[in-house]
């Protein structure tokens, strides 16, 4: 009797699965055009494509290195500069160099005794290079006083040494919030 009852249930079990698969297929076929329309209207397609393209392009980036100038105090008023290699990647090496400079020295560099003259919290607002002259625009934090100086000479020198040593520029002009930091620099550059 148990064999006979198993045989009778077996076809109904198979039929129920078949009916469930057909019903789900019909739901998908009927709903698919609406799902496509909703996906298209949401604008997710271009966003997904942009994300995939960005991921693929980042895989193709080569990592290179640049050198950042960090001062090493010799005594209260004299400094020598060490140029620490740091890795950069991307298509904007000038920008990345300044961003790495603004991050400050690494722990290894700090252990060697170097410092930075650039106030913490300074951000790069823009950087343009024209005729081998760099125009670097910093946020207002760049002009805050530090323990090393209240003027801007040492921090400007640190930025200039970093860019001019690494990229063979003729000059570097510093702007703060879009305004030239030293107005006399402009006349010197125009004479060159």
Domains identified in the chain, total number: 2
Q: What integer best gives the mean pLDDT of the chain?
A: 81
Residue 112 in 3-state DSSP? Answer: coil
CA distances to 82, 98, 122, 178 from 135, in Å: 23, 12, 16, 10
Are 79 and 173 members of one domain? yes
DSSP state of 88: E
Sign, CA dihedral 89-91-93-98, equals negative
Are 49 and 90 members of one domain? no
Are 155 and 77 members of one domain? yes
Are 106 and 91 members of one domain? yes
Torsion of CA 175, 182, 77, 105, to 10 degrees: 10
- The mean pLDDT of 149-157, rounded to a whole number, is 82
Given a contact cutoff of 8 angstroms between Cβ atoms, the answer to whether 142 and 104 are in contact is no
61 pLDDT tier (thresholds 50, 70, 90): low
Where does a domain end: 35, 58, 81? 58
Are 168 and 80 members of one domain? yes
28 pLDDT tier (thresholds 50, 70, 90): confident
| Report field, pTM of the whole predicted structure over 0.75 | no
Per-residue pLDDT of 77-112, as tens digits, reads 788 888 888 888 777 888 899 999 999 888 888 888
Instruction: Give the up-direction half-sphere exposure of residue 61: CA atoms within 13 A in the CB hemisphere.
Output: 16
Instruction: Give the up-direction half-sphere exposure of residue 76: CA atoms within 13 A in the CB hemisphere.
Output: 0
Q: At what angle do helices 44-59 and 2-42 cross, to 10 degrees?
A: 90
Stretch among 37-46, 56-65, 123-132 having the lowest mean pLDDT:
56-65
Are 126 and 178 members of one domain? yes
pLDDT surpasses 50 at 68: yes
pLDDT computed for residue 160 by the predictor: 92
Domain span at 145: 63-191
Are 29 and 109 members of one domain? no
pLDDT computed for residue 191 by the predictor: 40
């Amino acid at each position: 009797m148990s064999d006979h009852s198993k045989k009778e249930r077996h076809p109904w079990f198979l039929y129920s699965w078949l009916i469930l698969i057909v019903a789900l297929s019909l739901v998908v076929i009927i709903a698919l055009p609406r799902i496509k329309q909703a996906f298209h209207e949401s604008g997710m397609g271009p966003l997904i494509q942009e994300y995939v393209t960005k991921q693929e392009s980042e895989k193709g980036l080569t990592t290179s290195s640049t050198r950042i100038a960090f001062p090493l105090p010799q005594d209260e008023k004299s400094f020598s500069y060490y140029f620490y290699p740091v890795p950069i990647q991307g298509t904007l090496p000038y920008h990345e160099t300044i961003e790495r400079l603004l991050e400050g020295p690494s722990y290894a560099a700090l252990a060697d005794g170097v410092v930075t003259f650039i106030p913490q919290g300074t951000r790069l607002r823009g950087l343009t290079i024209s005729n081998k002259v760099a125009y670097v625009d910093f946020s207002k934090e760049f002009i805050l006083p530090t323990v090393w100086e209240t003027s801007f000479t040492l921090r400007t020198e640190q930025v200039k040494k970093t860019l001019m040593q690494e990229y063979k520029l003729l000059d570097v002009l510093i702007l703060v919030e879009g305004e030239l930091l030293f107005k006399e620099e402009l006349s010197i550059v125009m004479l060159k």
